[in-house]
Structure 1
Amino acid sequence: MTMRLRTLDGGQTAVTDERFDALRTAFHGPLITPDDPAYDETRALHNGMFDRHPGLIARCSGAADVIDAVNLARERDLLVAVRGGGHGIAGHSSCDDAMMIDLSAMRGVWVNPAERLVRVQGGATWGDVDREAQVFGLAVPGGVVSTTGVAGLTLGGGLGWLHRKYGLTCDNLVAAEIVTADGGLLRATETEHEDLFWALRGGGGNFGVVTAFEFQAHPVGPIVMYGAAMYAAADAEEILPAWRDWTGGLPDEVTSRAMFWSMPASPLLPPEVHNRDVFIVGAVYAGPPEDATTILRKVGRFGTPLADLSGPRPFRDVQRLLDWMFPKGELLSYWKSVTVRDLGDDVLRMVLRRGLDRPHPTTLVHVPQMGGAVRRLGPQDTAFGDRSAAYIVSIDGNWTDPADTQADMQWVRDAFDEVNALPSACGTYLNFSSEMDVDAAGRQTAFGENLDRLGRVKQAYDPENRFRLNNNIRPAGYRS
């Protein structure tokens, strides 16, 4: 039997039994086809919106497998999707009939405590990193859900509970090993392939398959002071402005976020919030817990909370507190975000109105705080782009019934358009974007003055735009 896979031009090409057998002989990981018993489980993505059927899943065990998969893609001109943790909200990591290069079995983490360096394979999640690094009281700034993949978060920027103290995830990247479109394995650092290293810090998966990351780690935990209070959503008209004013004077050690959500009747939650619409204020202090008692006390005093969960916690537990709210495959999700320079009254009115009128209990209106160390780098120091934002307004549409999809997606788009039209809007955070194909205006908004340089780096390392299933940056001069 001859396997037929999708090509870059949208057609199909044949991969003969002989060629496939040769690949299987060399490959150390499994090559999974649609008739394999493990196919359906392996192809599943975190976002239940996407039920895609790749023609071949190359589940790599290491860089050599990735090189062989990329060489096959180049030889047969295959369309390629690359999956790290599979958590990406836009579903870029899979495509019908294409070849998926799957790194999800490559989850090794190695810690050098003397130099505070952490080496991470390309399929690892932040839970993998936290588990190993916290043995030494270290952490790399990562996400707020432990099942999030390291690769996607890093390449797109990366914010969580530590970014105001230690910068974005991409700011803490010191080296990357990457298989480029020609099948070569390169090491990119400040002094090796400097242009590629610059582009990897915020430019997304445009430039190849990153098989390993090396990060600078920082002393965090194992116990941190965590602030979390749940208020009745109806009280947010008073609490939201008070939270805004409080965050304006915080030291960089504190990273805070606020969100509208609805709590189920879960045994993991206090009974007082069961089946309630809530406004949540959260914060983490990236320093000795005893130094944070006074400053985080305010989290539970903006009003009268339904529940105040604040207190000292293991950092690993903080990183996992939201996991249960994002079960793999159970939510259909469509997100869009706007970065804003300040939370003026016009932004607050929009956040309040949309937060109180969400179409589904699992939909969030989410406002992470930025600033601090994020602003200490210039807009051209990394590919991430504009760092002037003080906050992000993220419209995180989640629902469970496919019949609601069109209406809920439109609600997200309308809310996005509303905040994006406000004077303080200054960009977008692509890791919180569900668009499969970002248009020219979206790329310009996301990357700003860095876009032209990114196009030149793309031309140097992927001139045929082979790695295009991402927030795609076209190679300079590319017309297809």
Structure 2
Amino acid sequence: MGSSSDPRLTGLKAFLQGHPEIQYATPTSSNYEALRKTYILDNPAVPLAIVRPQNAEDVAALVTYAKANGLRIAVRSGGNSLFGKSMVNDALIVDMRDIAYVKLNESKTLATVGGGIIMGDLANELTKQGLATAMGTIPFVGFVGWSTYGGYGPFSPQYGLGCDNIVGAKVVNFQAEVIEADEEMLRGIRGAGGAFGPIVEMTVKVYQLKNILGGLIIFDSTDILATARKVSAGYQALQAEGLPSPLYVQQFALTAPFGKIFALAFFWGSDDHEQGQAWLTKVAALGDVIMNTVTPNTLAGFLEVMKTAVPPNAYGSIETMSIRGMTPEAIEIIARNIQRMPSTAGTSFSMHELRGSSAVPKADSIFASREPHMMLEIITTVADKTDLREAQEWAQSFLSGLREMDPENILPGTYISVTAPGSNSFENIFGVNYKPLLEMKRKWDPEGIYALAPPEVE
């Protein structure tokens, strides 16, 4: 931990005097705790300092200084890592959130964004132009971090994963140079994120879309076990018949003020709302609906709706597993564990479906889980820290139950963004792309300047 007499801080402050545009905070600064705060409240890390660059050249200057003085570097985009990856003890935190612009090309087919932009701000800018891009559902999540490590979300059946929409990136390399990523590096960025250096700018595909059809469908959950069984089985029947690419359904369970609920987030990513309404009718018929908030909306408006389903910050973490299909065995295990879910604010369960264009092998990306599957999130982010132990015990029991199912239904890889350190190997997560990843890391970070950037491979 850096103290006011730490010679590293003395040198850093002297360096920053020559870069007055770079805002910063040290442990004795009045704004340090506010800048240190991330989504997870119980991260004990005390960084050496937090710096707020304003552009790519500032980031390069900071990397030059850190490299010359032996400082470890960690990068924050949104600050929503559930495992503290963006706020590391005794490290120099490069907080990218002031680099948050959006620029469209003349044909409005590409958007170039700053490395610190969050999902909601990007959605707002694109909505003004009648545009959309692949993105997640929580507006305060950093867009670059979300997309480069994979990027599950409501557009994945028709646009692909977040990483599939990246067409360009500017990176500060290990020599502290601002470079345009070539196709080889882009392949690594599409799945391994900032492992090769801070991504100060990224260009992504955008699509014409004025309004979506979206919202929440909440089912009668008096008997939540029966509801979870019925809705999940019914959705699998719809899936077997074939689902249109604009449709995305996210099943989840959480504790509301009036008790535990089983619900769906419904998303129709097309301006053809007549067809969307027809599918809404089919999906709502899967259970006994007590509330349906699905309406025509903008993309930005939909993200604001989804924000109400998660706390703004919390204590705790997450467990995950990816399964090939919602078999009767999987449905039963999931439904029973939803029934056992603690009645504590924040504890929840969610399922993300990967299908369509996302779920096929791609040579230009090292994201490995390229087959149809469900990515399961067992979420133990609680509002009251005293509830954490009960939530964690439930999550471990849930995970143990899932591991007892037919092993052929379990993917070896898990989603790196929600995989707890040590709970799965990078060999499993990246599969056949693991050795190429190691080669990329040795080539583009030979000195280990970015050793703290996930995936932390040597």
Q: TM-score range by the shorter chain?
A: over 0.9
Which AA in structure 2 matches 1:425? I
Matches of 2:64 and 2:349, distance apart in 1 = 43
Task: List gaps (5 residues or longer) in structure 1.
Answer: 6-11, 265-274, 476-480
How many pairs align? 448
1:24, CA displacement in angstroms? 2.6
Matches within 5 A, 1:7-26: 14-15=7-8, 17=10, 20-26=13-19
**Contact persistence 1:228–1:280 (CA under 8 A):** yes
Deviations 1:366-421, CA, capped at 9 Å, x for gaps = 11121112024x15430111211321121111212323334422332332243244
Q: Show the counterpart of 1:302.
A: 286
| From 203, 206, 216, the counterpart of 1:228 | 216
**Contact persistence 1:144–1:322 (CA under 8 A):** yes
Matches of 1:398 and 1:104, distance apart in 2 = 24
Q: Show the counterpart of 1:321.
A: 305
Matches of 1:381 and 1:421, distance apart in 2 = 35
Query: After the TM superposition, which of the residue ranges 357-366 and 338-347 deviates more from structure 2?
Result: 357-366
**Contact persistence 2:3–2:27 (CA under 8 A):** no
**Contact persistence 2:47–2:92 (CA under 8 A):** yes
Q: Show the counterpart of 1:174.
A: 167
Are residue 215 (structure 1) and residue 204 (structure 2) matched? yes
Distance 1:84 1:226, change over 3 A: same
Distance 1:119 1:344, change over 3 A: same
| From 226, 238, 260, the counterpart of 2:230 | 238
User: SS at 1:369's partner residue?
Assistant: strand
**Contact persistence 2:378–2:395 (CA under 8 A):** yes
Are residue 400 (structure 1) and residue 383 (structure 2) matched? yes
Matches of 1:226 and 1:247, distance apart in 2 = 19
User: SS at 2:13's partner residue?
Assistant: helix
Q: Show the counterpart of 1:96.
A: 89
Measured on the aligned residues, the alpha-carbon RMSD in Å equals 2.2
Q: Show the counterpart of 1:463.
A: 446
**Contact persistence 1:173–1:216 (CA under 8 A):** yes
Matches of 2:38 and 2:345, distance apart in 1 = 22
Query: After the TM superposition, which of the residue ranges 172-181 and 332-341 deviates more from structure 2?
Result: 332-341
Are residue 453 (structure 1) and residue 446 (structure 2) matched? no
1:13, CA displacement in angstroms? 8.2
| From 139, 148, 152, the counterpart of 2:145 | 152
Q: Show the counterpart of 1:430.
A: 416
Distance 1:27 1:199, change over 3 A: farther
**Contact persistence 1:247–1:256 (CA under 8 A):** no
Matches of 1:183 and 1:417, distance apart in 2 = 45
- TM-score (normalised: structure 1): 0.88
Are residue 279 (structure 1) and residue 262 (structure 2) matched? yes
Matches of 2:317 and 2:152, distance apart in 1 = 19
**Contact persistence 2:102–2:125 (CA under 8 A):** yes
Which AA in structure 1 matches 2:273? P
Q: Show the counterpart of 1:347.
A: 330
Matches of 1:336 and 1:379, distance apart in 2 = 27
**Contact persistence 2:380–2:388 (CA under 8 A):** no
1:317, CA displacement in angstroms? 1.0
- TM-score (normalised: structure 2): 0.92
Percent sequence identity is 22
| From 50, 53, 71, the counterpart of 1:78 | 71
Matches of 1:213 and 1:163, distance apart in 2 = 19
Which AA in structure 1 matches 2:443? A
Are residue 374 (structure 1) and residue 358 (structure 2) matched? yes
Which AA in structure 1 matches 2:204? F
| From 369, 372, 393, the counterpart of 1:410 | 393
Distance 1:470 1:18, change over 3 A: closer
1:158, CA displacement in angstroms? 0.6
User: SS at 2:192's partner residue?
Assistant: coil
Q: Show the counterpart of 1:47.
A: 40
1:153, CA displacement in angstroms? 0.2
Q: Show the counterpart of 1:311.
A: 295
Are residue 36 (structure 1) and residue 29 (structure 2) matched? yes
Q: Show the counterpart of 1:9.
A: none
Which AA in structure 2 matches 1:244? Q
Matches of 1:27 and 1:168, distance apart in 2 = 39
Query: After the TM superposition, which of the residue ranges 159-168 and 49-58 deviates more from structure 2?
Result: 49-58
1:117, CA displacement in angstroms? 0.8
**Contact persistence 1:59–1:101 (CA under 8 A):** yes
**Contact persistence 1:351–1:365 (CA under 8 A):** no
Q: Show the counterpart of 1:195.
A: 184
Deviations 1:421-470, CA, capped at 9 Å, x for gaps = 4321112112223x2x346x521221111010000000011123332334
**Contact persistence 1:229–1:281 (CA under 8 A):** yes
**Contact persistence 1:339–1:389 (CA under 8 A):** no
Matches of 2:161 and 2:451, distance apart in 1 = 24
Task: List gaps (5 residues or longer) in structure 2.
Answer: none
